[in-house]
Structure 1
């Protein structure tokens, strides 16, 4: 009986975690590497966001735009960011795809966690310093992830597209959209 109750409680905890993270299935499009934007990434050098940065790739890894619109009742404004980079790394059975623009003083962007043909997105806290991992909660409006295949290994090339809309603290609406490519570490 105790074992049965343990599994029920464990199942409820797992379901509540899933609800908070907005798990969704991603789409597979094997033609992603032939998209014009992906091809253009290989023609440009990777962005260098701060002087002492060691570049992970000789060519551009992402063309992601983020539009952030804020309003506090008195003022409103819109910011556009286009200086995103991509890196991907396996951590146990989860593929972590980082799309961010950390310049050593602050960071902005998202972490996409992919496993079991599903994904969820975590928002990077803008107050994140270099080599720090801090996240903030967000209310997700819509999210779409397209990858070039459904199974990956270390050292594979990964190509993707993200379209993600959310609200942070009910003051900021964030929309991240674009293509990325990198080699999985």
Structure 2
């Protein structure tokens, strides 16, 4: 099963992807995690990505599409994957469908985690990394900018997935456990014992 998790930055996509991975054997593919690893390693891509992310902007399509294509081809994705943070635009969604069709694959479901924007800004402003620091892209002004970009760029792809019956809406403001249960129900999955 191949799934996309959609929702604004901080909606809980990463948390829910990890739970799906743990309970159902799917492989999480977090573009954000991949990019942060590049930043931490100080690679040229990482340096370029950091400059873009610190401004609250998204990474250009060709870079993201190439990273995703390479990652999906790895053996640990053979049982299925969960895309977290990709696609963000209709052009990326179309490119993803084309890429998957070339591999005789498809996206089985698109889960939209819906959240309250004001509460989300508060949630992200209080989020801290392992070392206790706040990520630059979690500053309230940056979060608001990222939410505006999400509304302008990502929200318009919802009809693309809805018309094919792949879109499932989940209330992302519920507890982590309740959101997980709602996702499992929407996908028709039963948790492995």
What is the TM-score of this pair, normalised by structure 1?
Answer: 0.24
Structure (1 or 2) with the greater strand fraction: 1
Higher normalized helix content (fraction of residues): 2
**TM-score between the two structures when normalised by the length of structure 2:** 0.24
